[in-house]
Amino acid sequence: MTRRRPETELVEAGRRPEWTRGIVNPAVWRASTILFDSVAAMKAANPPTEGVLHYGRNGTPTIWALCDALTALEPGAAMTRLYPSGSAAVAGALLSVLETGDELLMVDTAYGPTRSLCDTVLKRFGVATRYYDPLIGVGIAELIGEKTKAVFMESPGTHTFEVQDVPAICAAAKARGLVTLIDNTWATPLFFKSVAAGVDLSILACTKYIGGHADLMLGAVTATEAVADRLERTRRVLGQTAGPDEAWLALRGLRTLDVRLRRHEENGVKVARWLEGRSEVARVLHPGLEGDPGHALWKRDFSGATGLFSFALNADEAARTRLIDALELFGIGYSWGGYESLVVPADPARTATRPDFGGPLVRLHVGLEHADDLIADLEAGLSRL
Ligand SMILES: Cc1ncc(COP(=O)(O)O)c(C=O)c1O
Protein backbone atom coordinates (compact mmCIF):
# COMPACT_ATOMS: atom_id res chain seq x y z
CA MET A 1 0.00 0.00 0.00
CA THR A 2 1.23 3.52 -0.76
CA ARG A 3 2.10 5.67 2.24
CA ARG A 4 -1.05 7.02 3.85
CA ARG A 5 -1.62 10.72 4.27
CA PRO A 6 -1.16 12.11 7.79
CA GLU A 7 -4.92 12.62 8.30
CA THR A 8 -5.54 8.94 7.54
CA GLU A 9 -2.58 7.87 9.67
CA LEU A 10 -4.08 9.80 12.60
CA VAL A 11 -7.23 7.69 12.37
CA GLU A 12 -5.68 4.31 11.56
CA ALA A 13 -2.29 4.19 13.27
CA GLY A 14 -1.82 1.92 16.27
CA ARG A 15 -5.12 0.13 15.85
CA ARG A 16 -3.70 -3.36 15.46
CA PRO A 17 -6.48 -5.97 15.84
CA GLU A 18 -4.46 -8.01 18.34
CA TRP A 19 -4.39 -4.97 20.63
CA THR A 20 -7.89 -3.59 20.07
CA ARG A 21 -9.81 -6.90 19.71
CA GLY A 22 -12.21 -4.92 17.51
CA ILE A 23 -12.79 -2.10 20.00
CA VAL A 24 -12.32 1.15 18.09
CA ASN A 25 -10.33 3.00 20.74
CA PRO A 26 -8.06 0.42 22.44
CA ALA A 27 -9.22 -0.40 25.96
CA VAL A 28 -7.31 0.65 29.08
CA TRP A 29 -5.03 -2.26 29.98
CA ARG A 30 -3.92 -1.68 33.57
CA ALA A 31 -1.20 -3.97 34.82
CA SER A 32 1.78 -4.33 37.07
CA THR A 33 2.16 -8.13 37.33
CA ILE A 34 1.66 -10.25 34.25
CA LEU A 35 1.53 -14.01 34.90
CA PHE A 36 3.59 -16.53 32.92
CA ASP A 37 2.70 -20.19 32.43
CA SER A 38 6.13 -21.42 33.48
CA VAL A 39 9.67 -20.40 34.37
CA ALA A 40 10.63 -21.20 30.79
CA ALA A 41 7.97 -18.79 29.47
CA MET A 42 9.16 -16.13 31.93
CA LYS A 43 12.75 -16.54 30.75
CA ALA A 44 11.68 -16.50 27.12
CA ALA A 45 10.05 -13.09 27.62
CA ASN A 46 13.47 -11.53 28.37
CA PRO A 47 14.69 -9.07 27.38
CA PRO A 48 11.29 -7.40 27.16
CA THR A 49 10.18 -6.51 23.65
CA GLU A 50 7.38 -4.21 22.55
CA GLY A 51 4.19 -6.11 21.90
CA VAL A 52 4.97 -8.94 24.34
CA LEU A 53 3.44 -8.67 27.82
CA HIS A 54 6.25 -8.79 30.39
CA TYR A 55 5.72 -6.38 33.30
CA GLY A 56 3.56 -3.25 33.59
CA ARG A 57 6.51 -0.88 33.33
CA ASN A 58 7.28 -2.30 29.88
CA GLY A 59 3.84 -1.50 28.56
CA THR A 60 0.49 -2.98 27.75
CA PRO A 61 -1.49 -2.77 24.49
CA THR A 62 -2.85 0.71 25.35
CA ILE A 63 0.68 2.08 25.63
CA TRP A 64 1.94 0.23 22.57
CA ALA A 65 -0.97 1.46 20.46
CA LEU A 66 -0.11 5.08 21.24
CA CYS A 67 3.61 4.50 20.68
CA ASP A 68 2.86 2.84 17.35
CA ALA A 69 0.62 5.70 16.26
CA LEU A 70 3.15 8.41 17.18
CA THR A 71 5.93 6.51 15.38
CA ALA A 72 3.77 6.21 12.26
CA LEU A 73 3.35 10.01 12.22
CA GLU A 74 7.12 10.55 11.93
CA PRO A 75 8.33 8.91 8.68
CA GLY A 76 11.79 7.43 9.22
CA ALA A 77 11.33 6.86 12.95
CA ALA A 78 11.88 3.46 14.55
CA MET A 79 9.97 3.68 17.82
CA THR A 80 8.35 5.84 20.51
CA ARG A 81 8.53 5.65 24.31
CA LEU A 82 6.22 7.33 26.82
CA TYR A 83 7.03 9.36 29.94
CA PRO A 84 4.90 10.80 32.75
CA SER A 85 5.09 14.37 31.38
CA GLY A 86 6.64 16.38 28.58
CA SER A 87 9.41 17.51 30.92
CA ALA A 88 10.18 13.91 31.85
CA ALA A 89 10.40 13.11 28.13
CA VAL A 90 12.95 15.92 27.63
CA ALA A 91 14.99 14.53 30.55
CA GLY A 92 14.66 10.93 29.34
CA ALA A 93 15.87 11.85 25.86
CA LEU A 94 18.84 13.94 27.03
CA LEU A 95 19.96 11.43 29.66
CA SER A 96 19.97 8.68 27.04
CA VAL A 97 22.60 10.40 24.86
CA LEU A 98 24.79 12.43 27.25
CA GLU A 99 27.52 11.47 29.69
CA THR A 100 30.00 13.19 32.00
CA GLY A 101 32.39 15.45 30.09
CA ASP A 102 30.01 16.04 27.18
CA GLU A 103 28.86 19.43 25.96
CA LEU A 104 25.27 20.04 24.89
CA LEU A 105 24.26 22.83 22.50
CA MET A 106 20.87 24.07 23.72
CA VAL A 107 18.69 26.59 21.93
CA ASP A 108 18.34 29.84 23.91
CA THR A 109 14.55 29.77 23.47
CA ALA A 110 14.09 26.38 25.15
CA TYR A 111 11.17 25.81 27.50
CA GLY A 112 12.10 27.02 31.02
CA PRO A 113 12.25 23.63 32.78
CA THR A 114 14.41 22.29 29.91
CA ARG A 115 16.90 25.07 30.68
CA SER A 116 16.65 24.27 34.40
CA LEU A 117 17.44 20.61 33.73
CA CYS A 118 20.62 21.69 31.94
CA ASP A 119 21.61 24.24 34.56
CA THR A 120 21.07 21.92 37.55
CA VAL A 121 20.94 18.13 37.07
CA LEU A 122 23.01 17.86 33.88
CA LYS A 123 25.56 20.31 35.30
CA ARG A 124 25.76 18.26 38.50
CA PHE A 125 26.56 15.17 36.44
CA GLY A 126 29.33 16.97 34.56
CA VAL A 127 27.52 17.86 31.32
CA ALA A 128 28.18 21.42 30.16
CA THR A 129 25.47 23.35 28.31
CA ARG A 130 26.16 26.07 25.78
CA TYR A 131 23.13 28.12 24.76
CA TYR A 132 22.90 29.23 21.13
CA ASP A 133 20.92 31.76 19.12
CA PRO A 134 17.75 30.13 17.71
CA LEU A 135 18.45 31.86 14.37
CA ILE A 136 21.96 30.41 14.08
CA GLY A 137 21.16 28.00 11.19
CA VAL A 138 24.29 26.52 9.56
CA GLY A 139 26.37 28.72 11.90
CA ILE A 140 25.89 25.96 14.50
CA ALA A 141 28.91 24.25 12.87
CA GLU A 142 31.19 26.90 14.37
CA LEU A 143 30.03 26.08 17.90
CA ILE A 144 30.73 22.36 17.63
CA GLY A 145 33.84 21.42 19.58
CA GLU A 146 35.66 18.27 20.66
CA LYS A 147 33.30 17.60 23.51
CA THR A 148 30.02 18.50 21.82
CA LYS A 149 27.73 15.49 21.80
CA ALA A 150 24.25 16.76 20.98
CA VAL A 151 22.23 19.69 19.65
CA PHE A 152 18.80 20.41 21.12
CA MET A 153 16.23 22.47 19.17
CA GLU A 154 12.80 23.81 19.94
CA SER A 155 11.02 25.39 16.99
CA PRO A 156 9.27 27.74 17.20
CA GLY A 157 10.86 28.83 20.48
CA THR A 158 9.08 29.14 23.80
CA HIS A 159 7.38 32.52 24.30
CA THR A 160 9.01 34.23 21.30
CA PHE A 161 8.34 31.77 18.44
CA GLU A 162 11.55 32.06 16.42
CA VAL A 163 11.64 29.39 13.70
CA GLN A 164 14.87 27.40 13.51
CA ASP A 165 16.44 26.07 10.32
CA VAL A 166 16.13 22.50 11.55
CA PRO A 167 17.34 20.74 8.36
CA ALA A 168 20.47 22.95 8.21
CA ILE A 169 21.25 22.47 11.90
CA CYS A 170 20.74 18.71 11.63
CA ALA A 171 22.96 18.47 8.55
CA ALA A 172 25.77 20.38 10.29
CA ALA A 173 25.39 18.27 13.43
CA LYS A 174 25.33 14.99 11.49
CA ALA A 175 28.48 15.95 9.62
CA ARG A 176 30.23 15.98 13.02
CA GLY A 177 28.56 12.82 14.35
CA LEU A 178 26.29 14.58 16.87
CA VAL A 179 22.88 13.50 18.07
CA THR A 180 20.01 15.91 17.31
CA LEU A 181 16.94 16.43 19.49
CA ILE A 182 13.89 18.63 19.13
CA ASP A 183 10.97 19.65 21.29
CA ASN A 184 8.24 19.41 18.62
CA THR A 185 5.33 20.12 20.95
CA TRP A 186 4.11 23.32 19.22
CA ALA A 187 3.75 21.86 15.72
CA THR A 188 3.19 18.20 16.62
CA PRO A 189 4.22 15.63 13.97
CA LEU A 190 1.13 16.64 12.02
CA PHE A 191 2.55 20.07 11.13
CA PHE A 192 6.28 19.30 11.28
CA LYS A 193 7.91 16.01 10.30
CA SER A 194 10.95 16.37 12.48
CA VAL A 195 12.59 13.00 11.82
CA ALA A 196 12.38 13.54 8.06
CA ALA A 197 14.09 16.89 8.69
CA GLY A 198 17.04 15.04 10.26
CA VAL A 199 16.18 14.84 13.96
CA ASP A 200 17.16 11.70 15.94
CA LEU A 201 15.01 12.20 19.04
CA SER A 202 11.72 14.05 18.70
CA ILE A 203 10.01 15.04 21.93
CA LEU A 204 6.34 15.80 22.50
CA ALA A 205 4.52 17.06 25.56
CA CYS A 206 1.35 15.07 24.79
CA THR A 207 -0.11 17.10 27.68
CA LYS A 208 -0.78 19.81 25.04
CA TYR A 209 -2.29 19.18 21.59
CA ILE A 210 -2.13 15.38 21.48
CA GLY A 211 -4.38 15.13 24.54
CA GLY A 212 -6.13 18.33 23.54
CA HIS A 213 -8.52 18.55 26.47
CA ALA A 214 -6.35 19.89 29.34
CA ASP A 215 -6.89 16.72 31.36
CA LEU A 216 -3.70 14.67 31.19
CA MET A 217 0.05 14.81 31.78
CA LEU A 218 2.09 12.76 29.31
CA GLY A 219 5.29 12.91 27.30
CA ALA A 220 6.69 10.96 24.35
CA VAL A 221 10.03 10.56 22.60
CA THR A 222 10.13 9.24 19.04
CA ALA A 223 13.53 7.87 18.01
CA THR A 224 15.41 6.81 14.90
CA GLU A 225 17.03 3.38 14.74
CA ALA A 226 20.44 4.90 15.55
CA VAL A 227 19.40 6.02 19.04
CA ALA A 228 16.40 3.77 19.79
CA ASP A 229 18.33 1.26 21.84
CA ARG A 230 19.99 3.94 24.01
CA LEU A 231 16.64 5.60 24.62
CA GLU A 232 14.95 2.35 25.65
CA ARG A 233 17.78 1.16 27.90
CA THR A 234 17.86 4.51 29.70
CA ARG A 235 14.09 4.64 30.07
CA ARG A 236 14.08 1.19 31.58
CA VAL A 237 16.75 1.81 34.20
CA LEU A 238 15.24 5.18 35.12
CA GLY A 239 11.90 3.41 35.58
CA GLN A 240 10.10 5.84 33.30
CA THR A 241 6.66 4.87 32.09
CA ALA A 242 3.19 6.32 31.70
CA GLY A 243 -0.18 5.19 33.00
CA PRO A 244 -2.52 3.41 30.58
CA ASP A 245 -5.31 5.88 31.38
CA GLU A 246 -3.17 8.75 30.10
CA ALA A 247 -2.21 6.76 27.00
CA TRP A 248 -5.88 6.03 26.36
CA LEU A 249 -6.82 9.71 26.68
CA ALA A 250 -3.96 10.65 24.37
CA LEU A 251 -5.08 8.08 21.77
CA ARG A 252 -8.59 9.49 21.93
CA GLY A 253 -7.22 13.02 21.49
CA LEU A 254 -4.88 12.00 18.68
CA ARG A 255 -7.72 10.89 16.42
CA THR A 256 -9.14 14.44 16.20
CA LEU A 257 -5.79 16.25 16.13
CA ASP A 258 -6.16 17.34 12.52
CA VAL A 259 -9.56 19.01 12.86
CA ARG A 260 -8.63 20.64 16.16
CA LEU A 261 -5.32 21.99 14.91
CA ARG A 262 -6.91 23.41 11.76
CA ARG A 263 -9.38 25.36 13.92
CA HIS A 264 -6.64 26.47 16.35
CA GLU A 265 -4.69 27.69 13.32
CA GLU A 266 -7.60 29.53 11.73
CA ASN A 267 -8.61 31.21 14.99
CA GLY A 268 -5.02 31.96 15.94
CA VAL A 269 -4.22 33.65 12.63
CA LYS A 270 -7.44 35.66 12.77
CA VAL A 271 -6.73 36.90 16.31
CA ALA A 272 -3.06 37.57 15.46
CA ARG A 273 -3.95 39.63 12.38
CA TRP A 274 -6.45 41.63 14.41
CA LEU A 275 -3.81 42.32 17.07
CA GLU A 276 -1.38 43.48 14.36
CA GLY A 277 -3.78 46.31 13.54
CA ARG A 278 -4.01 47.64 17.12
CA SER A 279 -2.05 50.66 18.28
CA GLU A 280 -1.66 49.12 21.79
CA VAL A 281 0.34 46.25 20.24
CA ALA A 282 4.01 46.79 19.42
CA ARG A 283 4.54 43.49 17.63
CA VAL A 284 2.90 40.10 17.09
CA LEU A 285 5.19 37.05 17.28
CA HIS A 286 3.49 34.45 15.09
CA PRO A 287 5.42 32.62 12.33
CA GLY A 288 2.24 32.14 10.30
CA LEU A 289 2.00 35.91 9.66
CA GLU A 290 3.60 37.14 6.43
CA GLY A 291 5.57 39.87 8.19
CA ASP A 292 7.10 37.57 10.82
CA PRO A 293 10.89 37.04 10.45
CA GLY A 294 10.38 33.28 10.70
CA HIS A 295 7.62 33.15 8.09
CA ALA A 296 9.73 31.96 5.13
CA LEU A 297 11.27 29.06 7.07
CA TRP A 298 7.89 28.19 8.60
CA LYS A 299 6.33 28.09 5.14
CA ARG A 300 9.13 25.92 3.81
CA ASP A 301 9.11 23.35 6.64
CA PHE A 302 5.71 23.37 8.36
CA SER A 303 2.29 22.42 7.05
CA GLY A 304 0.38 24.54 9.56
CA ALA A 305 0.48 26.83 12.57
CA THR A 306 -1.16 26.09 15.89
CA GLY A 307 -2.92 28.40 18.34
CA LEU A 308 0.01 29.48 20.50
CA PHE A 309 1.74 32.83 19.92
CA SER A 310 2.72 36.03 21.72
CA PHE A 311 2.40 39.76 21.28
CA ALA A 312 4.33 42.67 22.73
CA LEU A 313 2.37 45.49 24.33
CA ASN A 314 3.07 49.16 23.75
CA ALA A 315 2.74 49.60 27.51
CA ASP A 316 4.37 48.70 30.82
CA GLU A 317 4.09 45.58 32.97
CA ALA A 318 1.33 47.02 35.14
CA ALA A 319 -0.78 47.56 32.02
CA ARG A 320 -0.04 44.00 30.94
CA THR A 321 -1.35 42.73 34.27
CA ARG A 322 -4.50 44.87 33.92
CA LEU A 323 -5.11 43.48 30.44
CA ILE A 324 -4.66 39.84 31.46
CA ASP A 325 -6.83 40.21 34.57
CA ALA A 326 -9.59 41.83 32.50
CA LEU A 327 -9.91 38.99 29.97
CA GLU A 328 -12.90 36.70 30.41
CA LEU A 329 -12.58 34.03 27.72
CA PHE A 330 -8.81 33.65 28.10
CA GLY A 331 -8.14 31.76 31.33
CA ILE A 332 -4.95 32.49 33.26
CA GLY A 333 -3.10 29.22 33.62
CA TYR A 334 -0.06 27.13 32.76
CA SER A 335 0.11 24.81 29.79
CA TRP A 336 -1.75 25.07 26.48
CA GLY A 337 -3.07 22.86 23.69
CA GLY A 338 -6.49 22.20 25.20
CA TYR A 339 -9.72 23.31 23.54
CA GLU A 340 -9.90 26.46 25.66
CA SER A 341 -8.16 29.81 25.27
CA LEU A 342 -5.45 30.78 27.74
CA VAL A 343 -3.25 33.78 28.51
CA VAL A 344 -0.04 34.26 30.51
CA PRO A 345 2.52 37.03 30.94
CA ALA A 346 5.59 35.78 29.05
CA ASP A 347 9.04 36.70 30.34
CA PRO A 348 11.63 34.82 28.27
CA ALA A 349 14.71 33.47 30.04
CA ARG A 350 17.66 34.16 27.73
CA THR A 351 21.40 34.08 28.19
CA ALA A 352 22.87 33.88 24.65
CA THR A 353 20.60 36.47 23.02
CA ARG A 354 18.63 39.48 24.29
CA PRO A 355 16.20 40.63 21.64
CA ASP A 356 13.98 43.65 22.32
CA PHE A 357 10.39 43.08 21.31
CA GLY A 358 9.26 46.60 22.09
CA GLY A 359 7.32 45.90 25.29
CA PRO A 360 6.24 43.22 27.74
CA LEU A 361 5.04 40.00 26.13
CA VAL A 362 1.63 38.38 26.46
CA ARG A 363 1.34 34.75 25.37
CA LEU A 364 -2.02 33.57 24.06
CA HIS A 365 -3.27 30.10 23.45
CA VAL A 366 -6.16 30.57 21.03
CA GLY A 367 -8.70 27.82 21.58
CA LEU A 368 -11.70 26.50 19.68
CA GLU A 369 -14.19 29.24 20.65
CA HIS A 370 -15.55 31.58 17.96
CA ALA A 371 -12.68 33.87 16.94
CA ASP A 372 -14.93 36.95 16.97
CA ASP A 373 -15.81 36.35 20.63
CA LEU A 374 -12.11 36.09 21.47
CA ILE A 375 -11.40 39.32 19.58
CA ALA A 376 -14.23 41.08 21.42
CA ASP A 377 -12.74 39.90 24.72
CA LEU A 378 -9.29 41.22 23.75
CA GLU A 379 -10.80 44.50 22.55
CA ALA A 380 -12.52 45.02 25.90
CA GLY A 381 -9.25 44.16 27.70
CA LEU A 382 -7.13 46.50 25.58
CA SER A 383 -9.59 49.32 26.20
CA ARG A 384 -8.59 49.19 29.89
CA LEU A 385 -4.92 49.95 29.29
C1 LIG B 1 7.39 23.57 24.60
C2 LIG B 1 7.10 22.74 25.82
N3 LIG B 1 7.77 21.61 26.00
C4 LIG B 1 7.57 20.83 27.08
C5 LIG B 1 6.65 21.17 28.04
C6 LIG B 1 6.50 20.32 29.24
O7 LIG B 1 5.38 19.51 29.22
P8 LIG B 1 4.72 18.99 30.57
O9 LIG B 1 3.95 20.14 31.12
O10 LIG B 1 3.88 17.83 30.12
O11 LIG B 1 5.84 18.57 31.47
C12 LIG B 1 5.91 22.35 27.89
C13 LIG B 1 4.90 22.74 28.90
O14 LIG B 1 4.37 23.83 28.90
C15 LIG B 1 6.14 23.16 26.75
O16 LIG B 1 5.50 24.33 26.58
For residue range 272-292, what is the model confidence (pLDDT) as tens digits? 999 999 999 999 999 999 999
Is the model's pLDDT at 99 over the cut of 70?
yes
Å from CA of 205 to ligand 1 middle:
5
Å from CA of 269 to ligand 1 middle:
22
What mean pLDDT, rounded, does the chain reach?
A: 97
Å from CA of 182 to ligand 1 middle:
12
Atom of ligand 1 nearest to the CA of 218: 10
pLDDT at 3: 75
What is the Cα–Cα distance from 176 to 337, expressed in whole angstroms?
A: 36
pLDDT at 7: 94
Residue numbers annotated as active site: 57, 111, 183, 208
Atom of ligand 1 nearest to the CA of 335: 14
Over range 22-35, report the average pLDDT.
94
Residue nearest ligand 1's atom 9 by CA: 86
Pocket of ligand 1 (CB under 6 A): 85-87, 111, 158, 183, 185, 205, 207, 217, 219, 335
Q: Candidates 201, 335, 342: which one to mutate for ligand 1, based on the most atoms within 8 Å of Cβ? A: 335
**Prediction pTM value:** 0.97
Per-residue pLDDT tens for 178-226? Answer: 999 999 999 999 999 999 999 999 999 999 999 999 999 999 999 999 9
pLDDT at 1: 55
pLDDT at 19: 85
